[in-house]
Amino acid sequence: MFERSYLDKSFTVADPDARVRQAGNLMAFETSGGTIKTIAQSTVIRVDAVERLQAGANKVSLFARALKEDGTPHGWTSTNNLQGKFVNETLELIEPPSGSGKFGPNAAWSHGAYVGQIGLVEVVDARTEIERIAVDTVEAYLKMVDAAKLSGVTVAINSGFRSYPEQKILSDGFEKHLPGFNKAAKPGNSNHQNGIAFDIAVAGADGNEVYDWLKRNAPGFGFVRTVSGEPWHWEYDPPRAQQAVQNHTYKIPAVSE
């Protein structure tokens, strides 16, 4: 069963100017006696609700309702004011819209074929934007994230699930050599379309602390590298990850670099 990750934990206010927003109008600040209300830096809070505002074509701003430890409200503030900036928190479960077809937002594809509709969970990515990952992989992903965190390493994604139209944009951009487009499979053929592929922010490869942590630990959580030349691309594939563990590696045999 899906539960929003932020409900069962505490957060620390990191920003020295964590301003409180108006509950009915998150664009505006709450004032008291002419000064803007803030939540003091280092305050430990709980969060019981999250709202979003569109901040650009593909960008949203997230706001959390911050509570004191006794449950009374501090008020709404930007999640960017919190330590960790809400990265890897899960927001909403998105069920397939009724009657949606193979090009719909929840349609899964594998090896060029439509394979059905899947539930998706929104998760805050490495850039504090919202990605979706398959509901069946959330638990495994967050288990790995939590283990990395205990080692002081932040595992976070740049890309998770993609719908057919989203994959088509990436594939077309690559084939037309548009700036900023990396190699991308043809729509229907990417494992980002069935929920097992995760592009993890690794900033390079060997020597990057996230990548090195993944090499040592990801297969133990069911994740394995499956694409040559893409150290960021990991797939949740427990049988192949288990095979990698037995072979003392972190990748499938077809991955050469």
* Residues near Zn ion, by CB under 5 A: 197, 199, 233
Residue nearest to Zn ion (CB): 233
Report, in Å, the least distance between residue 211 CB and Zn ion: 14
Minimum gap (Å) between residue 227 Cβ and Zn ion: 7
Measured between alpha carbons, how far is 199 from 165 in angstroms, rounded to an integer? 18
Q: Where are the beta strands (DSSP E) in 95-229?
A: 107-110, 113-117, 120-124, 130-134, 157-159, 197-200, 223-225
Q: How far is the CB of 185 from Zn ion (least distance, A)?
A: 9
Query: Minimum Å distance from CB 103 to Zn ion?
Result: 20
Residue 78: its H or E element = strand 73-78
Cα–Cα distance, 232 to 254 (Å, whole number):
16
Instruction: Closer to Zn ion by CB, 74 or 233: give it.
Output: 233
Closer of 199 and 237 to Zn ion (Cβ): 199
Buried b (16+ CB within 10 A) or exposed e, 90-104: bbebbebeeeeeeee
User: Please, which residue, 124 or 185, has the CB nearer to Zn ion?
Assistant: 185
Choice between 118 and 202, CB closer to Zn ion = 202
